[in-house]
Amino acid sequence: MRKVRKLLPTYLLASGYALLLVLPLLTLLSASLRAEADLYAPGLLPPNPTLAPYGEALAKFPLGRFLLNSLLVATAITLGVLLTSLLGAYALTRLRFRGRELLFGLAIALLLVPGEVTFLPLYLLVDRLGWLDTYLALTVPFLASPLGVFLLRQFLRTIPEDYFDAARIDGAGHFQMLRHVALPLSAPALGALAALTFIGAWNMYLWPLVVTKSREMQTAQIAVNFILNEEVARWNVVAAAAILVLLPTLIAFLLAQRAFVRGIAMGGLKG
Amino acid sequence: MERTLARPSRRTLRLGLEALPFLLPAYGLFLLFMILPVLDALWLSLHREDLFGRGREWVGPGNYLEALSRPEFWRSVGLTLQFALIVAPLELLLGLLAALLVYRAYPGVALFRTLFFLTTAVPTAVAAVAWGWFLHPVGGYANRLLVTLGLPPQPWLTSPELALPTLAVVTAWAGVGFTAILLTAGLQSIPEEVLEAATVDGAGPWTRFWRVILPLLSPTLFLVGLLVVLKSLTAFGQIHLLTRGGPMESSTVWIYRVYQDAFFNFQVPLAAAEALLLFLVLLLLAALQFWLLGRRVHYA
Protein backbone atom coordinates (compact mmCIF):
# COMPACT_ATOMS: atom_id res chain seq x y z
CA MET A 1 0.00 0.00 0.00
CA ARG A 2 2.83 2.37 0.84
CA LYS A 3 4.50 1.42 -2.37
CA VAL A 4 1.43 2.29 -4.41
CA ARG A 5 1.16 5.68 -2.72
CA LYS A 6 4.80 6.33 -3.47
CA LEU A 7 4.26 5.40 -7.09
CA LEU A 8 1.05 7.35 -7.53
CA PRO A 9 2.71 10.56 -8.84
CA THR A 10 4.64 8.49 -11.38
CA TYR A 11 1.46 6.74 -12.52
CA LEU A 12 -0.45 9.99 -12.89
CA LEU A 13 2.35 11.77 -14.72
CA ALA A 14 3.12 8.81 -16.98
CA SER A 15 -0.55 8.25 -17.85
CA GLY A 16 -1.13 11.91 -18.63
CA TYR A 17 1.98 12.17 -20.75
CA ALA A 18 1.29 8.90 -22.58
CA LEU A 19 -2.25 10.06 -23.36
CA LEU A 20 -0.93 13.35 -24.71
CA LEU A 21 1.58 11.53 -26.94
CA VAL A 22 -0.97 9.08 -28.27
CA LEU A 23 -3.68 11.72 -28.76
CA PRO A 24 -3.01 12.42 -32.48
CA LEU A 25 -3.30 8.69 -33.18
CA LEU A 26 -6.50 8.44 -31.13
CA THR A 27 -8.10 11.30 -33.07
CA LEU A 28 -7.06 9.55 -36.30
CA LEU A 29 -8.69 6.34 -35.11
CA SER A 30 -11.77 8.31 -34.11
CA ALA A 31 -12.00 9.95 -37.55
CA SER A 32 -11.69 6.55 -39.23
CA LEU A 33 -14.78 5.30 -37.37
CA ARG A 34 -17.07 8.19 -38.33
CA ALA A 35 -19.51 8.65 -41.19
CA GLU A 36 -18.88 11.75 -43.25
CA ALA A 37 -21.79 13.56 -41.57
CA ASP A 38 -20.29 12.98 -38.11
CA LEU A 39 -16.74 13.92 -39.07
CA TYR A 40 -16.84 17.28 -37.32
CA ALA A 41 -19.04 16.23 -34.42
CA PRO A 42 -17.35 17.14 -31.12
CA GLY A 43 -15.80 14.65 -28.74
CA LEU A 44 -13.16 12.01 -29.07
CA LEU A 45 -15.63 9.14 -29.28
CA PRO A 46 -17.46 8.87 -32.63
CA PRO A 47 -21.20 9.46 -32.03
CA ASN A 48 -22.29 6.64 -34.39
CA PRO A 49 -19.27 4.40 -34.83
CA THR A 50 -19.10 2.75 -38.26
CA LEU A 51 -16.59 0.69 -40.21
CA ALA A 52 -17.88 2.15 -43.49
CA PRO A 53 -14.77 4.33 -44.10
CA TYR A 54 -12.62 1.19 -44.03
CA GLY A 55 -14.91 -0.45 -46.57
CA GLU A 56 -14.72 2.60 -48.78
CA ALA A 57 -10.95 2.88 -48.53
CA LEU A 58 -10.57 -0.81 -49.37
CA ALA A 59 -13.07 -0.63 -52.24
CA LYS A 60 -11.67 2.49 -53.82
CA PHE A 61 -7.95 1.87 -53.43
CA PRO A 62 -6.02 -1.38 -53.89
CA LEU A 63 -4.81 -1.17 -50.30
CA GLY A 64 -4.14 -4.90 -50.21
CA ARG A 65 -1.76 -4.52 -53.10
CA PHE A 66 0.00 -1.55 -51.49
CA LEU A 67 0.39 -3.41 -48.21
CA LEU A 68 1.58 -6.51 -50.03
CA ASN A 69 4.17 -4.40 -51.88
CA SER A 70 5.43 -2.96 -48.60
CA LEU A 71 5.48 -6.41 -47.03
CA LEU A 72 7.40 -7.92 -49.95
CA VAL A 73 9.89 -5.08 -50.05
CA ALA A 74 10.47 -4.94 -46.29
CA THR A 75 10.78 -8.73 -46.00
CA ALA A 76 13.21 -8.99 -48.91
CA ILE A 77 15.34 -6.16 -47.54
CA THR A 78 15.35 -7.65 -44.04
CA LEU A 79 16.36 -11.13 -45.22
CA GLY A 80 18.99 -9.64 -47.52
CA VAL A 81 20.48 -7.47 -44.79
CA LEU A 82 20.61 -10.37 -42.32
CA LEU A 83 22.35 -12.61 -44.83
CA THR A 84 24.88 -10.14 -46.25
CA SER A 85 25.66 -8.68 -42.81
CA LEU A 86 26.21 -12.07 -41.21
CA LEU A 87 28.49 -13.19 -44.04
CA GLY A 88 30.47 -9.95 -43.96
CA ALA A 89 30.67 -9.83 -40.17
CA TYR A 90 31.84 -13.46 -40.09
CA ALA A 91 34.71 -12.65 -42.43
CA LEU A 92 35.62 -9.57 -40.42
CA THR A 93 35.82 -11.54 -37.17
CA ARG A 94 36.75 -15.12 -38.05
CA LEU A 95 38.97 -14.82 -41.12
CA ARG A 96 42.38 -13.21 -41.31
CA PHE A 97 43.32 -11.34 -44.44
CA ARG A 98 44.98 -8.17 -45.61
CA GLY A 99 42.87 -5.03 -45.27
CA ARG A 100 40.46 -6.49 -42.75
CA GLU A 101 40.58 -3.45 -40.48
CA LEU A 102 40.30 -1.23 -43.54
CA LEU A 103 37.10 -2.95 -44.64
CA PHE A 104 35.65 -2.62 -41.16
CA GLY A 105 36.57 1.06 -41.21
CA LEU A 106 34.81 1.36 -44.56
CA ALA A 107 31.62 -0.07 -43.04
CA ILE A 108 31.84 2.56 -40.29
CA ALA A 109 32.42 5.33 -42.83
CA LEU A 110 29.42 4.16 -44.88
CA LEU A 111 27.36 4.10 -41.71
CA LEU A 112 27.72 7.85 -41.73
CA VAL A 113 26.41 8.27 -45.29
CA PRO A 114 22.73 9.19 -45.05
CA GLY A 115 20.57 7.57 -47.70
CA GLU A 116 18.55 10.73 -48.16
CA VAL A 117 21.55 12.41 -49.72
CA THR A 118 22.50 9.67 -52.14
CA PHE A 119 18.97 9.24 -53.46
CA LEU A 120 19.62 11.43 -56.49
CA PRO A 121 22.69 9.63 -57.93
CA LEU A 122 21.14 6.31 -56.88
CA TYR A 123 18.04 7.25 -58.85
CA LEU A 124 20.15 7.98 -61.93
CA LEU A 125 21.92 4.62 -61.54
CA VAL A 126 18.69 2.69 -61.15
CA ASP A 127 17.26 4.56 -64.15
CA ARG A 128 20.26 3.53 -66.27
CA LEU A 129 19.82 -0.07 -65.14
CA GLY A 130 16.21 0.14 -66.35
CA TRP A 131 14.88 -0.71 -62.89
CA LEU A 132 12.50 2.21 -62.38
CA ASP A 133 9.04 1.10 -61.31
CA THR A 134 10.15 -2.45 -60.45
CA TYR A 135 10.68 -4.37 -57.22
CA LEU A 136 14.38 -4.42 -58.06
CA ALA A 137 14.64 -0.67 -57.55
CA LEU A 138 12.77 -0.93 -54.26
CA THR A 139 14.90 -3.71 -52.81
CA VAL A 140 18.31 -4.41 -54.38
CA PRO A 141 20.07 -1.15 -53.34
CA PHE A 142 19.20 -1.89 -49.69
CA LEU A 143 20.08 -5.57 -49.41
CA ALA A 144 23.28 -4.74 -47.56
CA SER A 145 23.60 -2.40 -44.61
CA PRO A 146 26.76 -0.97 -43.05
CA LEU A 147 24.92 -0.82 -39.73
CA GLY A 148 24.17 -4.54 -40.03
CA VAL A 149 27.81 -5.42 -40.71
CA PHE A 150 28.89 -3.19 -37.83
CA LEU A 151 26.39 -4.54 -35.29
CA LEU A 152 26.94 -8.19 -36.12
CA ARG A 153 30.71 -7.81 -36.16
CA GLN A 154 30.55 -6.33 -32.67
CA PHE A 155 28.33 -9.20 -31.61
CA LEU A 156 30.34 -12.03 -33.21
CA ARG A 157 33.45 -10.76 -31.43
CA THR A 158 31.82 -11.68 -28.12
CA ILE A 159 31.45 -15.37 -29.06
CA PRO A 160 34.30 -17.37 -27.45
CA GLU A 161 36.92 -18.84 -29.80
CA ASP A 162 36.45 -22.28 -28.21
CA TYR A 163 33.03 -22.72 -29.79
CA PHE A 164 34.52 -22.36 -33.25
CA ASP A 165 37.56 -24.42 -32.36
CA ALA A 166 35.34 -27.29 -31.27
CA ALA A 167 33.53 -27.15 -34.60
CA ARG A 168 36.81 -27.00 -36.47
CA ILE A 169 38.08 -30.11 -34.72
CA ASP A 170 34.89 -31.83 -35.86
CA GLY A 171 35.98 -30.95 -39.38
CA ALA A 172 33.68 -28.00 -40.04
CA GLY A 173 34.59 -25.49 -42.77
CA HIS A 174 33.86 -21.80 -42.52
CA PHE A 175 30.39 -22.01 -44.04
CA GLN A 176 29.49 -24.79 -41.63
CA MET A 177 30.84 -22.84 -38.66
CA LEU A 178 28.81 -19.87 -39.84
CA ARG A 179 25.71 -22.00 -40.19
CA HIS A 180 26.05 -24.10 -37.03
CA VAL A 181 27.91 -21.83 -34.58
CA ALA A 182 27.69 -18.15 -35.53
CA LEU A 183 24.09 -18.20 -36.77
CA PRO A 184 22.38 -19.81 -33.77
CA LEU A 185 24.49 -17.90 -31.25
CA SER A 186 23.78 -14.52 -32.79
CA ALA A 187 20.02 -15.01 -32.75
CA PRO A 188 19.39 -12.09 -30.35
CA ALA A 189 21.53 -9.69 -32.40
CA LEU A 190 19.91 -10.93 -35.63
CA GLY A 191 16.47 -10.43 -34.12
CA ALA A 192 17.29 -6.87 -33.13
CA LEU A 193 18.76 -6.12 -36.55
CA ALA A 194 15.76 -7.72 -38.27
CA ALA A 195 13.27 -5.63 -36.30
CA LEU A 196 15.21 -2.43 -36.94
CA THR A 197 15.63 -3.18 -40.64
CA PHE A 198 12.04 -4.25 -41.20
CA ILE A 199 10.49 -1.14 -39.71
CA GLY A 200 13.08 1.04 -41.43
CA ALA A 201 12.27 -0.54 -44.80
CA TRP A 202 8.52 -0.38 -44.19
CA ASN A 203 8.85 3.32 -43.44
CA MET A 204 10.86 4.31 -46.52
CA TYR A 205 9.26 7.31 -48.14
CA LEU A 206 11.49 9.41 -50.39
CA TRP A 207 12.93 6.48 -52.33
CA PRO A 208 9.67 4.69 -53.24
CA LEU A 209 8.21 8.10 -54.04
CA VAL A 210 10.78 8.76 -56.75
CA VAL A 211 11.26 5.25 -58.20
CA THR A 212 7.65 4.09 -58.46
CA LYS A 213 5.48 5.39 -61.25
CA SER A 214 2.53 3.04 -61.61
CA ARG A 215 -0.05 2.52 -58.92
CA GLU A 216 0.64 -1.24 -58.86
CA MET A 217 4.20 -0.67 -57.67
CA GLN A 218 3.46 1.83 -54.94
CA THR A 219 4.19 0.96 -51.35
CA ALA A 220 1.75 1.70 -48.54
CA GLN A 221 3.60 4.87 -47.53
CA ILE A 222 3.36 6.43 -50.96
CA ALA A 223 -0.21 5.27 -51.33
CA VAL A 224 -1.13 7.29 -48.23
CA ASN A 225 0.19 10.37 -49.98
CA PHE A 226 -1.95 9.75 -53.06
CA ILE A 227 -5.05 8.88 -51.07
CA LEU A 228 -4.64 12.08 -49.08
CA ASN A 229 -4.46 14.02 -52.34
CA GLU A 230 -7.50 12.39 -53.88
CA GLU A 231 -9.74 12.36 -50.84
CA VAL A 232 -8.69 15.62 -49.27
CA ALA A 233 -12.22 16.42 -48.09
CA ARG A 234 -13.08 12.94 -46.85
CA TRP A 235 -10.82 12.63 -43.88
CA ASN A 236 -12.65 9.57 -42.54
CA VAL A 237 -11.59 7.55 -45.61
CA VAL A 238 -8.04 8.94 -45.46
CA ALA A 239 -7.89 8.10 -41.75
CA ALA A 240 -9.14 4.56 -42.35
CA ALA A 241 -6.48 4.02 -45.00
CA ALA A 242 -3.80 5.39 -42.67
CA ILE A 243 -4.91 3.12 -39.81
CA LEU A 244 -4.75 0.12 -42.15
CA VAL A 245 -1.22 1.12 -43.12
CA LEU A 246 -0.27 1.58 -39.47
CA LEU A 247 -1.56 -1.83 -38.32
CA PRO A 248 1.23 -4.08 -39.68
CA THR A 249 4.08 -2.07 -38.11
CA LEU A 250 2.11 -1.59 -34.93
CA ILE A 251 1.55 -5.33 -34.60
CA ALA A 252 5.17 -6.05 -35.51
CA PHE A 253 6.29 -3.56 -32.88
CA LEU A 254 4.06 -5.01 -30.18
CA LEU A 255 5.21 -8.55 -30.97
CA ALA A 256 8.90 -7.76 -31.25
CA GLN A 257 9.19 -4.77 -28.96
CA ARG A 258 12.15 -6.14 -27.02
CA ALA A 259 14.14 -6.95 -30.16
CA PHE A 260 13.22 -3.61 -31.63
CA VAL A 261 14.18 -1.59 -28.58
CA ARG A 262 17.42 -3.52 -28.30
CA GLY A 263 18.13 -2.83 -31.98
CA ILE A 264 17.70 0.91 -31.57
CA ALA A 265 19.72 1.00 -28.36
CA MET A 266 22.56 -0.91 -30.03
CA GLY A 267 22.46 0.92 -33.33
CA GLY A 268 21.95 4.35 -31.86
CA LEU A 269 24.38 4.53 -29.00
CA LYS A 270 27.07 2.15 -30.03
CA GLY A 271 26.96 3.03 -33.72
CA MET B 1 47.91 -13.43 -32.83
CA GLU B 2 48.39 -9.71 -33.30
CA ARG B 3 51.81 -10.27 -34.76
CA THR B 4 50.61 -12.62 -37.47
CA LEU B 5 48.00 -10.00 -38.34
CA ALA B 6 50.63 -7.36 -38.93
CA ARG B 7 52.82 -9.52 -41.14
CA PRO B 8 50.66 -11.53 -43.55
CA SER B 9 52.15 -14.88 -44.44
CA ARG B 10 51.25 -16.93 -47.48
CA ARG B 11 48.62 -18.63 -45.36
CA THR B 12 46.80 -15.38 -44.57
CA LEU B 13 46.85 -14.41 -48.24
CA ARG B 14 45.21 -17.71 -49.04
CA LEU B 15 42.65 -16.89 -46.38
CA GLY B 16 42.11 -13.61 -48.21
CA LEU B 17 40.68 -15.51 -51.15
CA GLU B 18 38.68 -17.59 -48.74
CA ALA B 19 37.11 -14.41 -47.34
CA LEU B 20 35.87 -13.30 -50.74
CA PRO B 21 32.54 -15.16 -50.84
CA PHE B 22 31.76 -13.85 -47.35
CA LEU B 23 32.64 -10.27 -48.13
CA LEU B 24 31.42 -9.95 -51.68
CA PRO B 25 27.65 -9.75 -51.06
CA ALA B 26 27.84 -6.89 -48.56
CA TYR B 27 30.79 -5.01 -49.99
CA GLY B 28 29.74 -5.53 -53.60
CA LEU B 29 26.40 -3.92 -52.82
CA PHE B 30 28.11 -1.13 -50.89
CA LEU B 31 30.35 -0.43 -53.86
CA LEU B 32 27.56 -0.47 -56.40
CA PHE B 33 24.81 1.33 -54.49
CA MET B 34 26.61 3.58 -52.03
CA ILE B 35 30.13 4.39 -53.15
CA LEU B 36 29.57 4.61 -56.91
CA PRO B 37 26.48 6.85 -56.58
CA VAL B 38 28.38 9.31 -54.39
CA LEU B 39 31.24 9.42 -56.90
CA ASP B 40 28.69 9.72 -59.70
CA ALA B 41 27.05 12.64 -57.93
CA LEU B 42 30.43 14.30 -57.59
CA TRP B 43 31.13 13.78 -61.29
CA LEU B 44 27.67 15.01 -62.24
CA SER B 45 27.92 18.09 -60.06
CA LEU B 46 30.97 19.22 -62.06
CA HIS B 47 29.05 19.15 -65.35
CA ARG B 48 26.18 20.96 -66.98
CA GLU B 49 23.63 19.35 -69.23
CA ASP B 50 22.22 20.99 -72.33
CA LEU B 51 18.56 21.82 -72.45
CA PHE B 52 17.52 18.33 -73.48
CA GLY B 53 19.74 16.56 -71.00
CA ARG B 54 21.89 15.13 -73.78
CA GLY B 55 25.38 16.57 -73.95
CA ARG B 56 27.36 17.08 -70.79
CA GLU B 57 29.77 19.92 -70.48
CA TRP B 58 32.50 20.22 -67.85
CA VAL B 59 31.94 23.30 -65.72
CA GLY B 60 34.16 22.54 -62.74
CA PRO B 61 32.84 24.22 -59.61
CA GLY B 62 30.21 26.05 -61.68
CA ASN B 63 27.18 24.32 -60.14
CA TYR B 64 28.47 24.85 -56.63
CA LEU B 65 29.05 28.53 -57.29
CA GLU B 66 25.59 28.79 -58.80
CA ALA B 67 23.96 27.01 -55.84
CA LEU B 68 25.84 29.19 -53.39
CA SER B 69 24.80 32.35 -55.20
CA ARG B 70 21.07 31.53 -55.23
CA PRO B 71 18.99 33.21 -52.55
CA GLU B 72 16.56 30.23 -52.72
CA PHE B 73 19.37 27.93 -51.71
CA TRP B 74 20.42 30.02 -48.75
CA ARG B 75 16.82 30.39 -47.70
CA SER B 76 16.44 26.62 -47.62
CA VAL B 77 19.67 26.31 -45.62
CA GLY B 78 18.36 28.84 -43.11
CA LEU B 79 15.00 27.05 -42.87
CA THR B 80 16.76 23.73 -42.31
CA LEU B 81 18.74 25.28 -39.48
CA GLN B 82 15.61 26.77 -37.89
CA PHE B 83 13.86 23.44 -38.25
CA ALA B 84 16.70 21.51 -36.58
CA LEU B 85 16.96 24.10 -33.81
CA ILE B 86 13.33 23.51 -32.87
CA VAL B 87 13.24 19.75 -33.41
CA ALA B 88 16.39 18.84 -31.46
CA PRO B 89 15.70 20.52 -28.07
CA LEU B 90 12.01 19.62 -28.23
CA GLU B 91 12.61 15.99 -29.10
CA LEU B 92 15.33 15.67 -26.45
CA LEU B 93 13.10 17.20 -23.80
CA LEU B 94 10.08 15.06 -24.70
CA GLY B 95 12.25 11.94 -24.92
CA LEU B 96 14.01 12.67 -21.63
CA LEU B 97 10.71 13.13 -19.82
CA ALA B 98 9.48 9.79 -21.18
CA ALA B 99 12.76 8.06 -20.33
CA LEU B 100 12.76 9.40 -16.76
CA LEU B 101 9.29 7.98 -16.28
CA VAL B 102 10.17 4.45 -17.42
CA TYR B 103 13.88 3.76 -16.91
CA ARG B 104 13.33 2.08 -13.53
CA ALA B 105 11.27 -1.03 -13.05
CA TYR B 106 7.92 -0.80 -11.26
CA PRO B 107 4.60 -2.60 -11.70
CA GLY B 108 3.07 -1.44 -14.99
CA VAL B 109 6.25 0.03 -16.42
CA ALA B 110 6.03 -2.25 -19.48
CA LEU B 111 2.78 -0.61 -20.55
CA PHE B 112 4.21 2.89 -20.26
CA ARG B 113 7.34 1.86 -22.13
CA THR B 114 5.20 0.53 -24.96
CA LEU B 115 3.22 3.77 -25.12
CA PHE B 116 6.29 6.01 -24.97
CA PHE B 117 8.26 3.99 -27.52
CA LEU B 118 5.23 3.59 -29.77
CA THR B 119 6.01 6.39 -32.23
CA THR B 120 9.02 4.43 -33.53
CA ALA B 121 6.47 2.05 -35.06
CA VAL B 122 4.39 4.80 -36.68
CA PRO B 123 5.31 5.22 -40.35
CA THR B 124 6.10 8.80 -41.38
CA ALA B 125 3.12 8.89 -43.72
CA VAL B 126 0.73 7.79 -40.98
CA ALA B 127 2.22 10.31 -38.54
CA ALA B 128 1.75 13.03 -41.14
CA VAL B 129 -1.90 12.09 -41.79
CA ALA B 130 -2.64 11.86 -38.05
CA TRP B 131 -1.27 15.35 -37.54
CA GLY B 132 -2.87 16.62 -40.73
CA TRP B 133 -6.22 15.72 -39.18
CA PHE B 134 -5.24 16.85 -35.67
CA LEU B 135 -4.34 20.28 -37.09
CA HIS B 136 -7.23 20.42 -39.56
CA PRO B 137 -8.51 24.02 -39.78
CA VAL B 138 -12.14 23.01 -39.05
CA GLY B 139 -12.28 19.57 -37.49
CA GLY B 140 -8.84 19.48 -35.92
CA TYR B 141 -8.62 18.92 -32.19
CA ALA B 142 -5.80 21.45 -31.82
CA ASN B 143 -8.07 24.31 -32.89
CA ARG B 144 -11.11 22.92 -31.08
CA LEU B 145 -9.03 22.96 -27.92
CA LEU B 146 -7.93 26.55 -28.53
CA VAL B 147 -11.53 27.64 -29.13
CA THR B 148 -12.65 25.88 -25.94
CA LEU B 149 -10.00 27.83 -24.06
CA GLY B 150 -11.28 31.05 -25.62
CA LEU B 151 -8.27 31.43 -27.92
CA PRO B 152 -8.38 32.07 -31.67
CA PRO B 153 -7.85 29.05 -33.98
CA GLN B 154 -4.50 28.97 -35.74
CA PRO B 155 -3.59 28.35 -39.43
CA TRP B 156 -1.05 25.69 -38.38
CA LEU B 157 0.08 24.44 -41.76
CA THR B 158 -1.27 27.14 -44.04
CA SER B 159 0.57 30.23 -42.85
CA PRO B 160 4.19 30.89 -43.86
CA GLU B 161 5.05 31.85 -40.28
CA LEU B 162 3.61 28.78 -38.58
CA ALA B 163 4.18 25.98 -41.12
CA LEU B 164 7.83 25.27 -40.34
CA PRO B 165 7.53 25.33 -36.53
CA THR B 166 4.42 23.14 -36.79
CA LEU B 167 6.29 20.63 -38.96
CA ALA B 168 9.09 20.71 -36.40
CA VAL B 169 6.63 19.76 -33.65
CA VAL B 170 5.29 16.90 -35.79
CA THR B 171 8.85 15.72 -36.43
CA ALA B 172 9.76 15.88 -32.73
CA TRP B 173 6.61 13.92 -31.89
CA ALA B 174 7.45 11.26 -34.47
CA GLY B 175 10.94 10.98 -32.98
CA VAL B 176 10.02 10.80 -29.28
CA GLY B 177 10.00 7.00 -29.25
CA PHE B 178 13.48 6.86 -30.72
CA THR B 179 15.05 9.36 -28.30
CA ALA B 180 13.14 7.83 -25.38
CA ILE B 181 14.64 4.41 -26.13
CA LEU B 182 18.18 5.76 -26.37
CA LEU B 183 17.85 7.90 -23.25
CA THR B 184 16.27 5.05 -21.30
CA ALA B 185 19.33 2.94 -22.16
CA GLY B 186 21.53 5.85 -21.09
CA LEU B 187 19.72 6.27 -17.77
CA GLN B 188 19.86 2.57 -17.08
CA SER B 189 23.64 2.60 -17.45
CA ILE B 190 23.96 5.00 -14.49
CA PRO B 191 25.09 2.78 -11.59
CA GLU B 192 22.39 2.20 -9.02
CA GLU B 193 24.90 2.73 -6.17
CA VAL B 194 25.55 6.30 -7.25
CA LEU B 195 21.86 7.14 -7.01
CA GLU B 196 21.54 5.31 -3.69
CA ALA B 197 24.54 7.13 -2.28
CA ALA B 198 22.95 10.45 -3.22
CA THR B 199 19.69 9.41 -1.55
CA VAL B 200 21.53 8.37 1.60
CA ASP B 201 23.18 11.79 1.61
CA GLY B 202 19.70 13.28 1.75
CA ALA B 203 19.25 14.33 -1.88
CA GLY B 204 15.59 14.55 -2.96
CA PRO B 205 14.43 13.61 -6.47
CA TRP B 206 15.01 17.16 -7.74
CA THR B 207 18.56 17.39 -6.44
CA ARG B 208 19.29 13.86 -7.63
CA PHE B 209 18.16 14.82 -11.13
CA TRP B 210 20.17 18.04 -11.40
CA ARG B 211 23.28 17.01 -9.48
CA VAL B 212 23.64 13.32 -10.31
CA ILE B 213 21.54 12.13 -13.23
CA LEU B 214 21.96 15.08 -15.58
CA PRO B 215 25.76 15.36 -15.31
CA LEU B 216 26.17 11.60 -15.76
CA LEU B 217 23.72 11.56 -18.66
CA SER B 218 25.09 14.61 -20.45
CA PRO B 219 27.47 12.74 -22.79
CA THR B 220 24.56 10.52 -23.87
CA LEU B 221 22.30 13.55 -24.21
CA PHE B 222 24.83 15.23 -26.43
CA LEU B 223 25.22 12.18 -28.66
CA VAL B 224 21.50 11.62 -28.93
CA GLY B 225 21.12 15.33 -29.66
CA LEU B 226 23.57 15.07 -32.53
CA LEU B 227 21.70 12.03 -33.84
CA VAL B 228 18.42 13.95 -33.70
CA VAL B 229 19.97 16.90 -35.54
CA LEU B 230 21.28 14.54 -38.22
CA LYS B 231 17.83 13.00 -38.64
CA SER B 232 16.05 16.34 -38.71
CA LEU B 233 18.38 17.66 -41.42
CA THR B 234 17.03 15.00 -43.77
CA ALA B 235 13.35 15.08 -42.76
CA PHE B 236 11.32 14.73 -45.93
CA GLY B 237 8.17 12.59 -45.78
CA GLN B 238 6.20 14.70 -43.33
CA ILE B 239 7.03 17.89 -45.25
CA HIS B 240 6.10 16.32 -48.58
CA LEU B 241 2.79 15.08 -47.21
CA LEU B 242 1.73 18.07 -45.15
CA THR B 243 2.94 21.21 -46.89
CA ARG B 244 4.75 20.28 -50.13
CA GLY B 245 7.45 22.73 -49.07
CA GLY B 246 4.94 25.60 -48.81
CA PRO B 247 3.17 27.86 -48.18
CA MET B 248 5.31 30.24 -50.23
CA GLU B 249 8.30 27.90 -49.91
CA SER B 250 8.30 28.53 -46.15
CA SER B 251 9.04 24.83 -45.52
CA THR B 252 11.30 24.17 -48.50
CA VAL B 253 14.20 22.88 -46.44
CA TRP B 254 17.54 21.82 -47.93
CA ILE B 255 16.62 18.23 -48.84
CA TYR B 256 13.30 19.43 -50.26
CA ARG B 257 15.19 21.96 -52.41
CA VAL B 258 17.29 19.09 -53.80
CA TYR B 259 14.14 17.07 -54.57
CA GLN B 260 12.47 20.11 -56.13
CA ASP B 261 15.44 21.08 -58.30
CA ALA B 262 16.04 17.51 -59.47
CA PHE B 263 12.52 16.31 -60.16
CA PHE B 264 10.56 19.47 -60.92
CA ASN B 265 13.06 22.02 -62.20
CA PHE B 266 15.08 19.29 -63.98
CA GLN B 267 18.38 20.86 -62.95
CA VAL B 268 19.96 17.57 -62.01
CA PRO B 269 23.62 18.69 -61.84
CA LEU B 270 22.67 21.69 -59.73
CA ALA B 271 20.63 19.46 -57.44
CA ALA B 272 23.59 17.08 -57.20
CA ALA B 273 25.78 19.97 -56.08
CA GLU B 274 23.20 20.97 -53.48
CA ALA B 275 22.95 17.37 -52.27
CA LEU B 276 26.71 17.07 -51.93
CA LEU B 277 26.89 20.29 -49.95
CA LEU B 278 24.29 18.86 -47.58
CA PHE B 279 26.25 15.62 -47.54
CA LEU B 280 29.33 17.55 -46.44
CA VAL B 281 27.49 19.11 -43.50
CA LEU B 282 26.02 15.76 -42.45
CA LEU B 283 29.39 14.07 -42.76
CA LEU B 284 31.02 16.66 -40.51
CA LEU B 285 28.30 16.22 -37.88
CA ALA B 286 28.51 12.44 -38.14
CA ALA B 287 32.29 12.53 -37.85
CA LEU B 288 31.94 14.69 -34.74
CA GLN B 289 29.50 12.17 -33.31
CA PHE B 290 31.80 9.29 -34.04
CA TRP B 291 34.84 11.04 -32.64
CA LEU B 292 32.98 11.76 -29.41
CA LEU B 293 31.74 8.19 -29.27
CA GLY B 294 35.28 6.89 -29.69
CA ARG B 295 36.53 9.14 -26.89
CA ARG B 296 33.72 8.10 -24.61
CA VAL B 297 34.22 4.41 -25.29
CA HIS B 298 37.94 4.89 -24.78
CA TYR B 299 37.69 6.56 -21.41
CA ALA B 300 34.74 4.59 -20.11
What CATH code is carried by the domain that includes residue B199?
1.10.3720.10
pLDDT at A271 (0 to 100) = 41
Domain range for B115: 66-120+172-296
Q: What is the CA A130 to chain-centroid distance, rounded?
A: 26
Is residue B249 a part of any domain in this protein?
yes
**Helix, strand or coil, per DSSP, at residue B57:** strand
Return the residue in A2, A21, A125 with the most chain B beta carbons within 10 A, the one to mutate for interface testing: A21
Nearest CA in chain B to A41: B139
Structural domains in chain B (count) = 1
Alpha helices in A61-143 (DSSP H): 63-94, 100-111, 115-128, 135-139
Note whether A17 contacts B144, CB cutoff 8 Å.
Answer: no
Longest distance between any two alpha carbons in chain B, whole Å: 82
Residues in chain B, pLDDT under 50:
1-7, 297-300
Q: Give pLDDT, residue B117.
A: 95
Got the DSSP string for B77-101?
HHHHHHHHHHHHHHHHHHHHHHHHH
Give the one of A95, A108, A118 whose C-beta lies nearest to B22's C-beta.
A95
Q: Do A97 and B15 touch (CB under 8 A)?
A: yes
Q: How many CB pairs under 8 A join A and B?
A: 279
Quick one: pLDDT at residue B3?
A: 42
Q: Say what percent of chain A tops pLDDT 90.
A: 58
Chain A CB contacts of B261 below 8 Å = none
How far is the CA of B206 from the CAs of A36, A234, B148, B192, B202, in angstroms? 49, 48, 34, 17, 11
Which residue type, as a one-letter code, is found at position B44?
L
* pLDDT on residue B2: 42
SS3 B191: coil
φ, ψ of residue A44 to 5 degrees: the values are -80, -35
Residue B116 lies in a domain: yes
How far apart are alpha carbons A214 and A134 in whole angstroms? 9
- Report if residue B247 sits inside a domain: yes
| Cis peptide leading into residue B71 (ω within 30°) | no
Contacts of A134 (CB under 8 A, 6+ apart): A217
What span, in angstroms and rounded, lies between the C-alpha atoms of B116 and B114? 6
Q: What is the pLDDT of residue B26?
A: 96
Please state, as a whole number, how many other Cβ atoms lie within 10 Å of the Cβ of residue A81. 28
- Residue B256, burial from CB neighbour count under 10 angstroms (0-12, 13-18, 19+): buried
Low-confidence stretches of chain A (pLDDT beneath 50): 271
Report CA torsion sign: A217, A221, A223, A229: negative
Cβ-based neighbours of A75, under 8 Å, separated by 6 or more: A198
Spell out which residues of chain A touch residue B204, defining contact as CB-CB under 8 Å: none
Q: Is residue B113 part of a domain?
A: yes
- The number of residues making up chain A comes to 271
User: Under an 8 A CB cutoff, do B282 and A114 touch?
Assistant: yes
Partner-chain contact B112 A14, CB within 8 Å: yes
Which A residues, 6 through 35, put their C-beta within 8 Å of a C-beta on chain B?
7, 10-11, 13-15, 17-18, 21-25, 27-28, 31
**DSSP annotation string for B138-151:** TT-HHHHHHHHTTP
Note whether A221 and A70 are within 8 A (CB).
yes
Q: What is the pLDDT of residue B286?
A: 81
Residue of A225, A72, A113 whose CA lies nearest to B285: A113
Q: Which domains does chain A have, with CATH numbers?
A: 34-265 (1.10.3720.10)
